[in-house]
């Protein structure tokens, strides 16, 4: 099966356009401070998702509630303590449920069955409509997207430390233990779809949940001498979220999470830093090693 962009447009052009507008919403966060642009893209994503029958009306309701909840979360300074706690727990719960695809109202797009890279194990390639909504809207409402050269310098400086460190420690460690093998081949025809899916539909959502929400909240409320536990606990939960890949995958993801959490904190709690580090490691894994295992 061909998984190029043209093939997807032919197979389901409406669903493809829906996901394009979701990605564009994220991009607009960096181009303008005005909420109008990204919010319009989100509305188009929802409308086209419904038209493509990828989002049903229960899904529209769930995503609308999610958006409202995240809006309240980012304004929770005006709430009493119990209100802040309730909103945080609700945001955590719905973010986790969307990430694990536990909520009704979605028909996520199965674009690749038993996709194989070289001698790696076959894997399923989905373009999801539930999980990425949380990440993009969370990022947009946080209102911290870098729009200046100075901001990007602050973000990229620790990335240039964390990414090489993660590549050596995580991928190098997995290679040394025999969990991965070196495998450099010509880019497969599905790499463009994989890059889009991994960055816009996976990494942004995971970093919003585990760094932007979990690690941030733990870091905020733990006593000063225990703040390092926020990094460890968020990384551990990030690893557990990858239980579907087996014990090795959980361990590798937990270890990688330490780098993502460190760079997020080092860059001033900027999600761009952990997103770039996370995506950089995933892309290197795909290009240079057996994938997924």
pTM equals 0.95
Q: Tell me the per-residue pLDDT of 88-130, one tens digit each, with 9 for 90 and over.
A: 999 999 999 999 999 999 999 998 888 888 888 888 999 999 9
Q: How confident is the model at residue 153 (pLDDT cuts 50, 70, 90)?
A: very high
Q: Percentage of the chain surpassing pLDDT 70? A: 96
Q: What is the mean pLDDT of the chain?
A: 93
Q: Tell me the per-residue pLDDT of 235-262, one tens digit each, with 9 for 90 and over.
A: 999 999 999 889 999 999 999 999 999 9
Q: Average pLDDT, stretch 179-185? A: 91
Q: What angle do CA 226, 228, 233 make, to 5 degrees?
A: 100
Q: Average pLDDT, stretch 209-213? A: 98
- Residue 2: pLDDT above 60? no
DSSP the chain: ---SHHHHHHH-HHHHHHHHHHHHHHHHHHH-S-HHHHHHHHHHHHHHHHHTTSB-HHHHHHHHHHHHHHHHHTTGGGS-HHHHHHHHHHHHHHHHHHHTT-SSSB--EEEEEEE-BTTSPPEEEEE-SSHHHHHHHHHHHHT----SHHHHHHHHHHHHHHHHHHIIIIIHHHHHTTS--B---PPPTTHHHHHHIIIIIIIHHHHIIIIIIIIHHHHHHS-GGGTHHHHHHHHHHHHHTTGGG-HHHHHHHHHHHHHHHHHHHHTTS-HHHHHHHHHHHHHHHHHHB-B--
- Residue 270: pLDDT above 90? yes
How far is the C-alpha of 133 from the C-alpha of 42, rounded, in Å? 8
Q: Average pLDDT, stretch 18-39? A: 97
How far is the C-alpha of 108 from the C-alpha of 115, rounded, in Å? 17
| Res 274: pLDDT | 98
For the chain, what are the domain ranges? 5-288
Q: Which of 130-144, 182-196, 233-247, 271-285 has the lowest mean pLDDT?
A: 182-196
- Residue 1: pLDDT above 50? no
């Amino acid at each position: 099966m061909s998984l190029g962009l043209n093939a997807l447009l032919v197979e389901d052009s409406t669903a493809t356009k829906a996901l394009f507008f979701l990605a564009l919403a994220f991009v607009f966060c960096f181009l303008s401070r005005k909420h109008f642009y990204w919010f319009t893209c989100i509305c188009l994503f929802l409308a086209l998702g419904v038209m493509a029958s990828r989002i049903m009306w229960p899904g529209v309701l769930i995503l609308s509630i999610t958006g409202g909840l995240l809006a309240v979360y980012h304004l929770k300074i005006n709430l009493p303590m119990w209100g802040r706690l309730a909103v945080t727990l609700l945001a955590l719960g719905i973010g986790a449920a969307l990430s694990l695809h536990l909520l009704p109202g979605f028909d996520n797009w199965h674009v690749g069955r038993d996709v194989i890279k070289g001698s790696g194990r076959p894997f399923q390639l989905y373009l999801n409509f539930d999980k990425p909504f949380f990440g993009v809207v969370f990022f947009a409402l946080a209102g911290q997207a870098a729009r200046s050269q100075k901001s990007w310098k602050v973000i990229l400086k620790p990335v240039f430390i964390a990414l090489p460190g993660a590549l050596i420690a995580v991928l190098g460690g997995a290679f040394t233990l025999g969990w991965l093998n070196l495998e450099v081949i010509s880019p497969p025809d599905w790499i463009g779809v994989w890059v889009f899916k991994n960055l816009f539909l996976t990494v942004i959502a995971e970093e919003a949940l585990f760094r932007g929400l979990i690690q941030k909240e733990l870091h905020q409320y733990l006593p000063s001498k225990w703040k390092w536990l926020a990094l460890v606990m968020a990384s551990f939960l990030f690893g557990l979220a990858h239980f579907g890949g087996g014990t090795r995958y959980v361990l590798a993801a937990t270890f990688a999470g330490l780098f993502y959490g460190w760079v997020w904190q080092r860059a001033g709690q900027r999600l761009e830093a952990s997103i770039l580090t996370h995506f950089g490691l995933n892309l290197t894994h795909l290009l240079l090693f057996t994938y997924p295992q």
